[in-house]
């Protein structure tokens, strides 16, 4: 990760879709409505990224083909978790409106719109495993999923890490003396058991200092046999990658929210 002259940071990351989804329903209606259920999200309707995506599409489609809609959003993905829950909701809203009103935008056009909602929103337009650089806007599909055949355990404690907080304390890669140089595109092609020595989340150095519980969770995952463990994005979810047949039931702690997936 490198800080740019414009204040943003150049990222180098791997984005992998996982089977944890919100429920989003959009139907034509006589008047606009937005209902949100599930995990509570603060702010009014117009602050929600789904509504922002609707307003954006209405502005871009100057011929007013985007009419009123009734939206139901049920949140299953926790916010402040580094899982892209809000970003995926915004991107999928654009995709659904494009199809619902037959607007004819291609993937490139949808990605350009999604970038106005958030730096990592364009990824969810195609929603395929990708190598992501720039500020999150340069997306290179990998053509394979390096986690296929493994078991993924994601642990979300009852605390959040704001993106702003994580970036304020970031130590750019060129200033780190403890990192072994290795291109991420090369490292992810190695066995997952070797990732511990070559793939690092630069956010962890600062975030673990202010949220020590997250470092404890990471250590717990390794203690239970994880081949690789790290914080997801800017946190606060921490994940572990295990062999397909690994027994992970003992990791579950009732004070945390735990998700387990066979990939």
User: What's residue 161's pLDDT?
Assistant: 87
pLDDT tens for 108-139 read 999 999 999 998 999 999 999 999 988 777 89
As given in the structure block, the two tokens for residue 230 are: 């790290």
Q: What is the DSSP letter of 12?
A: E
User: What's residue 233's pLDDT?
Assistant: 92
User: What's residue 79's pLDDT?
Assistant: 87
Q: Which residues of the chain have pLDDT under 50?
A: 1, 4, 6-7, 175-177, 179, 181
User: What's residue 171's pLDDT?
Assistant: 64
User: What's residue 80's pLDDT?
Assistant: 85
* Distance (Å) of CA 150 to CA 15, 128, 144, 227, 243: 16, 17, 14, 10, 5
User: What's residue 196's pLDDT?
Assistant: 94
Class of domain 18-127: alpha beta
Q: Which helix (H) or strand (E) holds 151?
A: strand 151-156
Q: What is the DSSP letter of 10?
A: E
User: What's residue 167's pLDDT?
Assistant: 81
The widest CA-to-CA distance across the chain, in whole angstroms, is: 60
The predicted model scores a pTM of 0.89
DSSP codes joined into one string, 34-97? EEEEES---S-GGGSHHHHHHHHHHHH-TT-----EEEEEEE-SPSSSSS-HHHHHHHHHHHHH
- CA–CA dist 1, 171 (Å, integer): 8
Nearest-5° angle of CA 250, CA 256, CA 258? 60
User: What's residue 9's pLDDT?
Assistant: 58
Cis check for the bond before 236: say yes or no (omega within 30 of 0): yes
Q: What is the DSSP letter of 244?
A: T
Contact (Cβ atoms closer than 8 angstroms) between residue 125 and residue 117: no
User: What's residue 173's pLDDT?
Assistant: 55
Same topology, domains 18-127 and 151-262? Answer is no
CATH value of 151-262 in 3.40.50.720, 3.30.70.890, 2.60.120.260, 3.30.460.80: 3.30.70.890
Domain borders along the chain are: 18-127, 151-262
Contacts of 227 (CB under 8 A, 6+ apart): 150, 192, 193, 195, 196, 240, 241, 242, 243
């Amino acid at each position: 990760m490198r800080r740019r002259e414009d204040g943003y940071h150049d990222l180098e990351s791997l984005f992998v879709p996982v089977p944890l989804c919100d429920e989003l329903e959009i139907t034509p209606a006589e008047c606009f409505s937005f209902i949100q259920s599930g995990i509570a999200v603060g702010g009014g309707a117009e602050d929600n990224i789904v509504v922002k995506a609707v307003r954006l599409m209405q502005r871009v489609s100057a011929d007013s083909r985007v009419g009123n809609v009734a939206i139901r959003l049920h949140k299953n993905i926790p916010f402040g978790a580094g899982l892209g829950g809000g970003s995926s909701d915004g991107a999928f809203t654009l995709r659904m409106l494009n199809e619902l009103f037959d607007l004819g935008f291609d993937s490139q056009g949808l990605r350009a719109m999604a970038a106005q909602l958030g730096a990592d929103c364009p990824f969810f337009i195609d929603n395929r495993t990708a190598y992501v650089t720039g500020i999150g806007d340069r997306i290179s599909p990998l053509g394979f999923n390096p986690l296929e055949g493994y078991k993924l355990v994601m642990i979300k404690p009852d605390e959040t890490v704001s993106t702003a907080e994580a970036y304020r304390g970031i130590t750019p890669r060129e200033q780190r003396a403890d990192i072994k140089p290795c291109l991420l595109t090369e490292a992810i092609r190695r066995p997952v058991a070797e990732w511990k020595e070559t793939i690092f989340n630069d956010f962890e150095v600062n975030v673990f200092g202010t949220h020590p519980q997250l470092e404890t969770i990471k250590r717990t995952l390794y203690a239970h046999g994880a081949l690789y463990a790290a914080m997801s994005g800017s946190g606060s979810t921490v994940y572990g990658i295990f062999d397909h047949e690994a027994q992970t039931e003992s990791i579950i702690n009732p004070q945390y929210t735990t998700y387990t997936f066979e990939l």
